[in-house]
Each structure stands twice: as structure tokens, then as C-alpha cells.
Amino acid sequence: MQRTLELAANCWPTYIEVNNMVKLDRIEHSVTIPEGVTADISEDGVVTITGPKGSLHRAFHSEVLSIFKDGNGLIVRVDLPRRKQRALAGTWNAHLNNMVKGVTDGFTYNLKAFYSHFPMTMAVKGDTFTVNNYFGERVPRTAKILNNVDVKVSNKTEITVSGIDKEAVGQTAANIERCTTVKNRDRRVFQDGIYLLNKE
């Protein structure tokens, strides 16, 4: 006897009953491709998602998981999955959905600089974000800006990090936040630094 249960809006696990024991037979995740967005899968497992904001590529390789096109979407499928394979299927599904969102809406992280002891200044030059006069330090602090990520400083204290690749945007924001990490100081007193406010 075979039965199907729906765990989530885009996930369909299939179960089989063997000797009165129910075992997971297959799990599928569906990724919707909206109008104006295209998805292509190469023979070597590279998925390309293209939309109004650009194009993203990512390689998906597994001996047991597969990705294929189905109508207006993509399907991530794994047969007879073990726990790690179920988790990997969920990870692939998240990556694909982030790629679709990236090429349609993009990702934005908003940060803000706070200082009370020393007025610091920030600048962007090429792939480097620079913080000057942090706690009166003579040597500027720097953070790496990843490829295809846009960083802007406005109103002297507001930093906007944006792009279509969620991981690159998030990592760049983390680099900027960490470049003002304070060591050997009480953060309850010395709160100067750059902090993440929100994500869009």
C-alpha cells in the first residue's frame, strides 16, 4: 500500500508500507519559476536562473538527488532518502528559491554605524569598504566586498549592501560588521561599531 502526505506547500513526500512499517520512499520539492524568469539545467548539473535583475549560476551535484524541469517550475527529487539526503534536498530547494528571488527582487541588508567616542568615516573604493578613525586608530579598518555586490554609504552612518546573490550579500554585510569588532573593551560601555539593522 502506498500513500502520499503533504508536509509543506512545495514538498511532497511519498511513503511505502512494508511489513506494517511506514518508510519514506521519495521526497520532492517544487520551485516555482515566475513569469519573466527562465531556468536552464546543463548536462553537468549547473542550474542557471535568469531574470530582470541578472543571472545566477550554481552547480548541484549528487549521486542520489536530481533536479529537473516540470512545467513552470523545477523539481528537486530524492528516492529512498536518508536523513542527510532529506536535509540536502531541503538545502537545494532553499538555494533555488533564493536564486529566483535574487534575479527578481534582489537582496538588501541595511546596516548603521554608531559612535560616541570618536567620529569615524566610511568609504567604498573598488572591492574594499574602509572605516577610518575607528576608536581613534591611525590604521584604517577594511572589509572585503564580494563580486557583484553593491555597497553604498549615505548620511555618513547608513550602509546599504545589495545584490542578487544572497550568500554574497550576506557575507559582505558580515565582513563590514566584523571589521569593527572590539577586543578587550566592555561592549556595554564602548558600543561604537557597525550593526545590522534589517534585511530585505
Which runs of consecutive H residues, i.e. helices, occur in 67-144? 83-104
Class of the CATH domain delimited by 2-104: alpha beta
Is the model's pLDDT at 4 over the cut of 50?
A: no
Cell of 130: 574602509
Percent of the chain scoring above 70 in pLDDT: 84
**Is 1.10.760.10 the CATH classification of the domain at 107-199?**
no
Residue 17 has pLDDT above 80, yes or no: no
How confident is the model at residue 10, as a pLDDT?
62
Q: Left (φ > 0), alpha (ψ -120 to 50) or beta: where does 43 sit?
A: alpha
Topology agreement, domain 2-104 and domain 107-199 = yes
Instruction: Note the pLDDT tens digit of each residue in 75-116.
Output: 998 887 788 888 999 999 999 999 999 999 999 999 999 888
5 vs 24: CA distance, rounded Å: 11
Indicate the pTM of the whole model: 0.81
Lowest mean pLDDT among 9-13, 30-34, 67-71: 9-13
pLDDT in tens, 119-133: 889 999 999 999 998
Residue 15 has pLDDT above 60, yes or no: no
Judged by average pLDDT, the poorest of 43-57, 108-122, 160-174 is 108-122
Q: Where are the domains of the chain?
A: 2-104, 107-199
